[in-house]
Chains A and B, each alone.
Chain A
Amino acid sequence: MRYIRPLSIEDAVGELAKAVGPAAILAGGSDLLVRMKGGFIEPELIVDIKAISGLADITETADGFRIGAAVPCAVLGENKAVRKAWPGVVEAANLIGSKQVQGRCTITGNLCNASPAADSVPALVAAAAKAVVAGPSGKRTIAVESVPTGPGRTSLAKGEIIEAILLDKRPEHAGDAYLRFIPRTEMDIAVVSAGVNLTLDDKGAIKTARVALGAAAPTVLLVEEAGQVLVGSKLDEGTLERLAKICSGACRPIDDKRGTIEFRRKVAGVLAQRAAAIAYKRAGGK
């Protein structure tokens, strides 16, 4: 096994592109090291991206925020500007694993691990976050929901690395929230989850809405119909009921050790309602 720690994204991409055997990218390592220890993977090349200039930074741009691929979730959680603009994304990122894990893990890693139960991903999808991908043929920016294609699989090509996640600047009257269901209080994995991102008009009615569900299908689901049903409403009871019904209906869950199909369908709707209520309040809605 070969471990390298390149100083530029070009070098990292180059090494990955010419790798012959299985290769892995190391940021926080909170998924990678566990899988290696468990004997599930034996990479021949490990590319540590933490020393690459800019990858450990959060920068505020004219368009919003650029969160480097090596920024630990705990660091994200201490950034006041991101926390103020995207509280749902930040709280999702800080539900992953334990306090110790949060000191290492990253939202980019969470996205690329491609677990349907990833905590930060539904919040990022609801937030319409984008991923900046560096590769052998240059850079491209894609919607985060297009990264995972199935459990453990991504759309990234050989040699490609996500170098940052982009979050938009927030208008007035905007709020987001993320909730997950776990049977315990912490150190667990979502049985089902929901992220909701809203903006309101001056009268407090919902202007735009995005709803995403986790652990409800092979990939995180963006439920466009659920967003549409919220638009124009002030989250009255009827709207919330329709929201729950749409979310439950959109789920394509499985029965497994963490929950049943029935349970996931039902609770997806409940969590979407509760997350919508929190996001609405954060956006200034009453």
Chain B
Amino acid sequence: MNFDPRYSGRNFSSVGTRPIRPDGIDKVTGRARYGADFNMAGQLVGRILRSPHAHAVIKKIDTSKAEKLAGVKAVITAKDLPDLTDGDAAMYDILDNSMARKKALYDGHAVAAVAAIDARIARQALKLIEVDYEVLPHVTDVDEAAHHHAPLINDQIFTEGLEEKPAKPSNVTKRTQFGHGDVHKGFAQADFIVERSFKTEQTHQGYIEPHACVASVNPDGTADLWVCTQGHFVYRQHCAQLLGLEASKLRVTSSEIGGGFGGKTHVWAEPVALALSRKAGRPVKLVMTRDEVFRASGPTSATSIDVKIGAKKDGTITAAEATLRYSCGPYPGSWAEIGAMTAFACYKLENVKTVGYEVLVNRPKTAAYRAPSAPMAAFAVESAVDELAHELGMNAVDFRIKNAAQEGTRASYGPVYGPIGIGPTLEAAKNHPHMKAPLKMNQGRGMACGFWFNFGGQTCTDLNIGMDGSVSLAVGTVDVGGSRASLSLVAAEELGIDYSQVKAIVADTSSLGYNDMTDGSRGTFSSSMATISAARNAIKVLRDRAAQMWDIPVDDVTWEKGHAIAKGEKYGNLSPLSLKDIAAKSGTTGGPIAGHSELVADGAGVSFATHICDIEVDPETGATRVIRYTVVQDAGKAVHPTYVEGQYQGGAAQGIGWALNEEYIYGKDGRLQNPGFLDYRIPVCSDLPMIDTQILEIPNPNHPYGVRGVGETSIVPPLAAIANAVSNAVGVRMTHIPMSPPRILAALDAEREG
């Protein structure tokens, strides 16, 4: 591949405009097909039986009564999903999470499933399945689980990453460490030190569309899966491996997606639906209820974090240290590791050390949630940074500006930064009118910074030009946040045609080569790179066809503004040929015109944001209201600014919910108490102010248009920004997220009582 991804500093005609979204009509009229909107003739209804226990040995499952019920076509247990993972521990965990094999590891863990001719019979059948459990002691709290007295969730796990291999198994699966310099030396140089411990509760992505799929397995070893997912190629790999199918014979089609935010990067019920279909010999539709989504999909980690930061009187940070404990659910993960990498990424530090501990708990398996692990680390660090600024008597923005990372700074997690946006977002925040707006009684202002790595990865794209000159673009990264609009703009830009001439679709797994899933804010970054490459390949063909039509050497044909131009004096009489002119003749000049590309998009530019918010607190009830909220973030280049603003606002909205009210609440029995949107409180529309946004564009040198991912960074600062605002409003440092009214009132009462 001779594609040059370097930033070229070109002027744009399509990129940066705000055309209406291509999926808008379908979505507002209800025609858009989401996961539960697929149907097949003869399909059965699948339902899953789930453990009511947080931790229990499955001694016996008797499915005989359910099997005899009229209308039941298949009943499965773990026996119907034999272990084909061949020593791949991560895949084994996915298998075990899909259907518990020996132990139920959390309230909601799948233990059996049925396929029946309707939902009523399926529900009745579940009641007829008899499971003999031996209930074990459980642990759901991250700190309790890390304690050596805690009930062991997996006695085969010994903490990795310690200097000596431990003699006893532990719920702590791994220790990781990052940093450089000498923090002891650094703290010795400090005039002021802030040291605090923080906790955050577990939250769910809260996507409105529950997981849904239709699975159809044929006796010849071919299968189809229609599913709501962020990555249908990844679902294909995982399901094929778990079911023993050949990947190419399992065709996965992704539906429209009603939100994913990381939670649809992982298979949950899909292998079960396929196993049911295989056993029943008919298609099976499986739609999770909201209760099941909360109990048995992949929420984010609960955390417990200790932070220590020291600074000189002049405001220079001399050392920074953090210890981070993240819950992983019952299977090992690398969530604390990511938290440890991101914690101090905004700052230029000589001495920095972060240590992460991954902790098993009897809760559902942790999955990615928008910049996974970073918001909690930022909450702890940015709270301490704010407090340190207060102690130094420095303005919180100026203190951050003084210590902000720059081009050439060695990041706390290792690499040396290229051109980055932390300094500019801080300067923009400092100069924003929001910073100077007056505050009323019981109101406080807070700010915080956030960082996310971003990712590129494997991408494969087809661009086909129709004989009428219209362009269809087939991509394999699922459109989660508006990438079809952005990629159409990019194709139009590169080809020099109008946006309305391009139609982008998400192709199924049998139509394109492998694509990584839409995570790491990679959708528009990586697919736009592939689209540019595909368009440039198509332009080569277009030039060749024009050369044929003119009967001149192809080297004398250039491509400008959507037209082939014959260059040089000698061709003065040839009028340019439009893309449409060339397409119309394609049948006689060599057949269809297309451009293909496959690439690994490297060099995803890191992304930074600074948020400002004002909160009003009712000191008698602890009730909070977000009065004003501003997001400043670097986009590299905003391909479709309205979508970029939407990403900024969406991340802030989710962060506000997380900061103030969202949390998984477990009873002493280890059961989730609030598996529904009534008591798992995401913000409703009237809870939020209009979230103001400011897009900065510091080009990513590794993308032709300078694009950086924008989807995730916006959820990193809100927890801290809101905690700082509440703390400033009430005069008490808030250290436990969510800052629900009972927690705020309790903190205020403790302060009043001294």
Shortest distance from the beta carbon of A109 to any chain B beta carbon, whole Å: 17
User: Which residue of chain B has its CB nearest to the CB of A266?
Assistant: B745
Hey, which chain A residues are within 8 Å of B674, CB to CB?
A: 257
Which A242-286 residues have a C-beta within 8 angstroms of B? 256-260, 262-263, 266-267, 270
Pairs A-B, 3 closest by C-beta atoms: A263-B742, A185-B686, A257-B673
Which listed residue, A189, A256, A266, touches B678 by the CB 8 Å rule? A189
Which of A38, A39, A189, A258 has the largest number of chain B CB atoms within 10 A?
A258
* Contact A39 B123, CB 8 Å, known A184-B683, A188-B678: yes
Which B708-754 residues have a C-beta within 8 angstroms of A? 740-742, 745-746, 749
Hey, which chain B residues are within 8 Å of A183, CB to CB?
A: 623, 660-661, 681, 740-741
Hey, which chain A residues are within 8 Å of B683, CB to CB?
A: 184
* Contact A263 B745, CB 8 Å, known A258-B679, A270-B621: yes
A257–B665 CB distance below 8 A = yes
Which listed residue, B623, B679, B681, B746, touches A181 by the CB 8 Å rule? B623
B681–A184 CB distance below 8 A = yes
* Contact A270 B684, CB 8 Å, known A181-B741, A183-B741, A262-B746: no
Shortest distance from the beta carbon of B517 to any chain A beta carbon, whole Å: 32
B407 within 8 A of partner (CB)? no
Hey, which chain A residues are within 8 Å of B742, CB to CB?
A: 259-260, 262-263
Which listed residue, A185, A189, A262, A270, touches B620 by the CB 8 Å rule? A270
Shortest distance from the beta carbon of B37 to any chain A beta carbon, whole Å: 19
What total of chain A residues lie within 8 Å of the partner, measured CB to CB? 21
Shortest distance from the beta carbon of A216 to any chain B beta carbon, whole Å: 14
Count of chain A to chain B residue pairs whose CB atoms are closer than 8 Å in the complex: 55
Interchain CA distance A259-B742 in the complex, whole Å: 6
Which B330-350 residues have a C-beta within 8 angstroms of A? none
User: Which residue of chain B has its CB nearest to the CB of A256?
Assistant: B673
- 29 A-B pairs, CB-CB below 8 angstroms? A181-B623, A181-B741, A183-B681, A183-B740, A183-B741, A184-B683, A184-B684, A184-B686, A184-B687, A186-B684, A186-B686, A187-B684, A189-B678, A189-B679, A191-B741, A257-B673, A257-B674, A257-B679, A259-B741, A260-B742, A262-B742, A262-B749, A263-B742, A263-B745, A267-B620, A267-B621, A267-B745, A270-B620, A270-B621
Which A176-235 residues have a C-beta within 8 angstroms of B? 181, 183-189, 191
B315 within 8 A of partner (CB)? no
Further contacts, 13 of them, CB under 8 A, given A181-B623, A263-B622 = A38-B291, A181-B621, A183-B660, A185-B686, A186-B686, A187-B684, A188-B678, A191-B741, A257-B679, A262-B742, A263-B742, A266-B745, A267-B741
Interchain CA distance A189-B665 in the complex, whole Å: 17
Interchain CA distance A96-B673 in the complex, whole Å: 22
Interchain CA distance A260-B660 in the complex, whole Å: 16
Interchain CA distance A211-B232 in the complex, whole Å: 58
Interchain CA distance A260-B291 in the complex, whole Å: 23
Chain B: number of interface residues, binned into ranges: 20 to 34
Hey, which chain B residues are within 8 Å of A270, CB to CB?
A: 620-621
Which B377-433 residues have a C-beta within 8 angstroms of A? none
Interchain CA distance A98-B291 in the complex, whole Å: 21
Interchain CA distance A257-B681 in the complex, whole Å: 11
Shortest distance from the beta carbon of B662 to any chain A beta carbon, whole Å: 10
Hey, which chain A residues are within 8 Å of B661, CB to CB?
A: 183-184
Interchain CA distance A266-B749 in the complex, whole Å: 10
Hey, which chain B residues are within 8 Å of A38, CB to CB?
A: 291
Which of B620, B742, B746 has the largest number of chain A CB atoms within 10 A?
B742
Hey, which chain A residues are within 8 Å of B749, CB to CB?
A: 262, 266
Hey, which chain B residues are within 8 Å of A266, CB to CB?
A: 745, 749
Interchain CA distance A189-B678 in the complex, whole Å: 8
B745–A185 CB distance below 8 A = no
Hey, which chain A residues are within 8 Å of B686, CB to CB?
A: 184-186
Chain B 669-696: CB-based contact to A (< 8 A → 1; otherwise 0): 0000110001101011011000000000
Interchain CA distance A105-B741 in the complex, whole Å: 28
* Contact A263 B741, CB 8 Å, known A257-B665, A257-B674: yes
